[in-house]
Structure 1
Amino acid sequence: MSRQPLRALGLSTGKKARLHRILHTFGLANGTALFLPYDQGLEHGPRDFFANPAAGDPRYIAKLAVEGGFNGIAVQIGLAEKFYWDFAGEVPLILKLNGKTEIPPDGSALSPLNASVEEAVRLGADAVGYTLYVGTPAQTEDFAQYQVVRRDAERWGMPLIVWAYPRGSAIADKGGKNSFYAVDYAARTASELGADMVKVNFPNPAKRTGVPAPYDGDYSTQDAIGAVVRSANRSMLLVSGGEKAGDEAMLEKARQSMEAGATGFIFGRNVWQRERVESLRFVAHLREILAKYPV
């Protein structure tokens, strides 16, 4: 599936200008994207840094993003205010506007706002990120909170990247959060709610217990990720690296994602839980894949 250029996505002038800077000035500058998320300190706690203690220092991560040729780094507001200024202009900032700890259960998950689009503009961000939990009992409140962000993003001309995460007991009963059904539904939901980019986990079509009949079939992983890209419509799709796993398996998922028409990847722990040289080596492999799919 071919990727659509920015001019075909119905974007406002401000959003188009910022996304053009992200996709055609940074990274490979060929219309693909590679983002480095660093909100795990809030989402998972400091335990995520045990594998590579150096990663607990936000300056290390920002420098890694610059050296690795990333299209952007996604952080919460505290780190953006205290550390990003040292690297402002060297790598685009994606300000995460909401987040939560992992301490409460996911069953009624809601990721509360802790920053605004206006603050993102003040900090020189090129995009904002919002975590949307699809399928939880708190979905109504989540959608209302998201509506405020979407309106502000439109008013300020700020691209909106939605972390579209299926969660809750209803999702667990229908294949689980990484099932083809759940990921496909989350991508479509984020697109219909106005996301400019959608971040999803790679779908697993083998997770079929309890899924609706159309998803209870022998789909390949290529079939599944292709359907998810189509469900995102004119919202660009980013595929998450998820938890650290074997390199060849992750790179194969990356290749399948780009073949399906994804815009790029958002890899965090899979990158910075390694020692620096190994991190950059892995990033080079991702860039080799992205280089084959220019827009």
Structure 2
Amino acid sequence: MSQSITELLGEDADRLLSHQCQTIPQEHLHIPGPDFMERVVIDSDRNQRVVNNLARLFGHGRLAGTGYVSILPVDQGIEHSAGASFAPNPEYFDPANIVRLAIEGGCNAVASTIGVLGAVSRRYAHRIPFLVKINHNELLSYPNSYDQVMFASVDRAFDLGAAAVGATIYFGSPESRRQIVEVAEAFERAHELGMATVLWCYLRNPGFKTDQDYHASADLTGQANHLGVTLQADIIKQKLPTNNGGYVAIQFGKTSSLVYKKLTTDHPIDLCRYQVANCYMGRVGMINSGGASSGASDLADAVKTAVINKRAGGTGLISGRKAFQRPMTEGIELLNQIQNVYLDSSITIA
């Protein structure tokens, strides 16, 4: 094992690297691997063009042929504002530098807005798979409201050469049912055209905050994942779980005590495995988000998230701000270090 990974994990190294799941056995999972397309995807009803684009995504970058993915997402200029996102590194106001970071960082794909990717599609769409995010939550309207609205059509993404489209649903929000219908229709059209689909399965409701913030609770995010795969997303993006028991604390919906007594523990790998289980036991790959940039701890935080995701049975990491809010050489190093976790054969499924 790379010593640097162990060093970056610090005091968490033994807890994360030696843990063995006693909840959902790895034998029940469809784990990532070089044969994932032939072993799992080929059983689905995806047409050959979708299979081809998924194969292209899984076959690009430093993780090509492993069954894992490392994706660079840079769509924060809309929701978090361009100033908040790019002021630390103004070169990323230029879409070409966003794509260059993904290419030089060895990523499987670059995810961004129709504007960013459309601005440079002729130069780069054949060099790295494009993932067009078609809906966004803009926060320039005042007072702020929280809703995902369509910024682009699936057909437009297809025209610029995208391999996949992505969308967010704020599950739990008053607007979620409209978003479900919009995204279901968009994903059906994307599959017709041969593009893969990626769904950001996020939770959003003030009621999910009681004694703790349960927006990243394993049981609630797990159910969001299960709704996402029902919409035939090919990849699910989810936040790493930070707690559990959201259903119990908020006292709504339906669950089972076995979720907490048998299928999960308080260990982060077991919590993440429950997220994977809700993605049809891994038939649909789950990638965790890298989260906001915290400065000096970014590299260690990213590696820790990657180790948890991989050992839980996840499919990879989608990390943006930690990479592009620093000089490009440092961003490339961070992306490569994330990828090294998935390339390290000694880091196994728990």
Q: TM-score, normalised by structure 2?
A: 0.78
Give the direction of change, closer, same or farther, for the CA distance of 1:207–1:258 in structure 2 (3 Å limit). Answer: same
1:225 paired with 2:258, answer no
Residues 226 and 261, structure 1, Cα contact 8 Å, conserved in 2: yes
Does 1:186 pair with 2:224? yes
CA distance in structure 2 between the aligned counterparts of 1:274 and 1:82, rounded to whole angstroms: 23
**Partner residue, 2:329:** 277
Deviates more, 1:45-54 or 1:29-38: 45-54
Q: CA deviation at 1:290?
A: 1.6
Alignment of 1:151-230 (within 5 A): 151-173=188-210, 175-205=213-243, 210-211=249-250, 214=257, 219-230=266-277
Of 48, 73, 82, which aligns to 1:37?
Answer: 73
Q: Could you tell me which residue of structure 2 aligns to residue 6 of structure 1?
A: 37
Secondary structure of 2:331 counterpart: helix
Check conservation: 2:106, 2:336, Cα contact below 8 A. no
> Aligned partners of 1:56 and 1:240: how far apart in 2?
22
In the alignment, which residue of structure 2 is the partner of 1:243? Answer: 292
User: Match for 2:37: what amino acid?
Assistant: L
Give the Cα separation in 2 of the matches to 1:227 and 1:106: 37
Output the CA distance in 1 between the equivalents of 2:327 and 2:67.
Answer: 29
Q: Secondary structure at the match of 2:150?
A: coil
The residue identity in structure 2 corresponding to 1:187 is N
1:57 and 1:18 map into 2 onto residues whose CA distance is 26
Q: Indicate the percent of aligned positions where both proteins have the same amino acid.
A: 26
Unmatched segments (≥5 aa) in structure 1: none
Structure 2: tracts of 5 or more residues without a match: 1-25
Contact 2:60 2:107 in 1 (8 A): no
For residues 240 and 104 of structure 1, the distance between their equivalents in structure 2, rounded to whole angstroms, comes to 26
Q: How does 1:119-158 map to 2 (within 5 A)?
A: 119-158=156-195
Q: TM-score, normalised by structure 1?
A: 0.91
CA spacing shift, 1:147–1:86, aligned 2, 3 Å: same
Deviations 1:159-208 (CA, angstroms, capped at 9, x unpaired): 11001110012333484312223321221111122111100110112686
**CA 1:152 to 1:273, structure 2 compared with 1: closer, same or farther past 3 Å?**
same
Aligned to 1:262: 314
1:215-268, Cα deviation, whole Å (9 max, x unpaired): 667511111001101111122111100111322232112111011111111100
Deviation, 1:87, is: 1.6
Matched residue count: 295
Structure with max Cα Rg: 2
Contact 1:62 1:84 in 2 (8 A): no
Secondary structure in 1 matching 2:139: coil
Contact 1:171/1:182, CA 8 A, preserved across alignment: no
